[in-house]
Chains A and B, each alone.
Chain A
Amino acid sequence: MSGISDTERMITLKTVEGTLFDVKSSIAKDLKTVQAFIDDSDDDVTSPIPLPNVFTRELSRILDYLNNHHRFRSGIEKADEEMARYDAEFAKSMSHEELKALILAANYLNVKDLLEFLNQTVADVIQNKSVEFVRNFFGIENDYTPEEEEKLRNENEWAFNGVEQD
């Protein structure tokens, strides 16, 4: 931990597997759960903060995302395009299992922007699918009677135009 300026403190985080991550305090602010822990502590936090629900793979991805976004935001104009491209690649690089694990980790750590982005990614996956697909996807049982379903479909008919049929 050499070469740290006075203005940028480092926080150490420990994952389930015991891996230690040194994180700048400015980045740690985006991990609201961690920040709350720091704020609640009377003294300066020197020992590693344990994250019992977070695995190394997820924390590594989250810190990657935050570091990049901080970099984009602190630069000058063109950053929006670069950021969009980074986000697209980031989402594409994960399998569904990895995506879900990352959402749960981001939710636990309360990383607002990343969580919004990931939830939007899942919404994008299901948005053009049929109702039946969505039921299977989330493991939801259809608790409508056929008559109820028909009535509901008629009421919301205006929204069904141009979408794959059930």
Chain B
Amino acid sequence: MLRHLIAHLHQLLHTSSTTSPTSPSSSFILQSSSLHNHPRWSFLDIDDNSVDDCCGLVMAAGKSGNLRMVEPLKHPSTKKPRRDQSRGKSSGRSSMTEVMEQQIWKDFPEDLIEAVIARLPIATFFRFRSVCWRWNSLLNSPSFSQHCAQVQHANPWFYIITQERANSGAMYDPSIKKWYHPTVSALPSKLILFPVASAGGLVCFLEIGQRNFFVCNPLTQSFKELPARSVKVWSPVAVGMTANGNLTGAGYKILWVTCDGEYEVYDSMRKSWSRPGNMPVGIKLPLALNFKSQSISIDSTIYFMHSDPEGIVSYDIATGVWKQYIIPAPLHLTDHTLAECDGRIMLVGLLTKNAATCVCIWELQKMTLLWKEVDRMPNEWCLDLYGKHIKMTCLGNKGLLMLSLRSKHMNRLVTYNIASREWLKVPGCVAPRGRKRQSIACGTAFHPCLTAVA
């Protein structure tokens, strides 16, 4: 059938181009006589000199294996006029390539489409949920979840709460330096919740009264209120979180601990809290836990900072063992917090000597249990802090640190990449439809994972 069509085209071209062999007549209509067997074929009006188009269409039909006629292009504005052929072959081929491209990906296997979607930027994925119902429900698909698990995101995202709007959060993507303000808040809006820890793409929130815990995937609105703690303890708690494995659905564990050595572990698979035991006798109580420092987790161990004596306590969730490390803190240190990068334990804090303030980074030397300074904020930036009373808050301590530096007239945000030692400025967080930079109260880093479920 195709051969007949091509022969027919050649015939028509020759008969219509009596005056000039290279420029066929202005309009070219496929004769319906040869097409009576295929009622789906439609008349096609083709512009000047568009012999190539015609052949392209025939080729496309041939390539796709069936004689499906391609519809006229939907976006005529993108089709370049043939007169522009002087620009070179590429512009002449644009309409033909577009036509061919429309055919190429139409029978691309579903499984591979999922692999492509899993590699889109996170925000793009949410846009493309509007493509069709199937793409919208990918978040519940185990096969899609597996594809997502194989994608390595270079940087964590940050979830923060601002002081101006304490009951809704904002998210920052450092790869493209963009703030997002989800329109539907993932969390119950009447409560004020503070992000205190994160693991496996999920963020753990603690209610302002320190009573109830919530777990949420900031990207997908999936959230859960955890059952009440079995111990009615209202003293301040430090919180840590670990993921059970790399796959979503493997579950997570949350640990809280107080200065008196009381602690409990929540197991998401069992959906319950348990009290594994008491702190070992060797750890002197009460512990002066540093509540402003976020905890870190490396494999199954969670680390907390304390002072008096200065050091770190750790709890291995897998073995249930507490350990304590006495580590002298650097002098003149304030606003410090633990951080981690590829299994390395770090410390970030403000060093103030006389009137000069600088942000410094230390790494824990495991053999000697001493902090060793490994980096400082660039001098030019430190000069801006000179003589001011600075408050620093760490908004994310996993691999990429986000630091908020505030004084009476200054509100600055920076990120520090521990591995690459790069300091970058962060654009201010501005509310949607607003202009003013907001003050960030607290935040945590989290690994963006579309399929993590609370």
Contact = CB atoms under 8 A, between A and B. Distances in A.
Contacts of B23: none
Q: Which of B127, B134, B183 is the most central at the interface, judged by chain A CB atoms within 10 Å of its CB?
A: B127
B127 A159 contact: yes
A97 B100 contact: yes
A138 interface: yes
A96 B96 CA distance: 13
Contacts of B126: 156, 158-159
Nearest to A99: B104
Interface string A127-147: 110010011111111111000
A116 to B, nearest CB: 7
Nearest to A150: B130
B63 to A, nearest CB: 8
A39 interface: no
Interface residues of A, number: 40
B182 interface: yes
Given A143-B132, A159-B126, A163-B127, A120 B182 contact: no
Contacts of B127: 131, 156, 159-160, 163
A156 B136 CA distance: 11
A124 B131 CA distance: 17
Nearest to B147: A119
A126 B130 contact: no
Interface stretch (B110-118, B296-304, B337-345): B110-118
A116 B117 CA distance: 12
B448 to A, nearest CB: 12
A143 B182 CA distance: 25
Contacts of B208: none
- By size class, the interface of chain B is 35 or more
Contacts of B108: 100, 138
A20 interface: no
B53 to A, nearest CB: 18
Nearest to A98: B104
B119 interface: yes
A152 B119 contact: no
Contacts of A155: 183-184
A128 B127 CA distance: 10
Contact of B112 (A96, A119, A127, A158): A119
A157 B123 CA distance: 10
Contact of A103 (B112, B123, B135): B112
A127 to B, nearest CB: 5
Interface string B55-75: 000000001000000000010
Query: What 8 A-B pairs have minimum CB-CB distances, sorted nearest first?
Result: A139-B106, A159-B126, A159-B123, A123-B119, A156-B126, A119-B115, A122-B116, A131-B130
Interface of A: 95-97, 100, 103-104, 107, 115-116, 119-120, 122-123, 126-128, 131, 134-144, 149, 152-161, 163
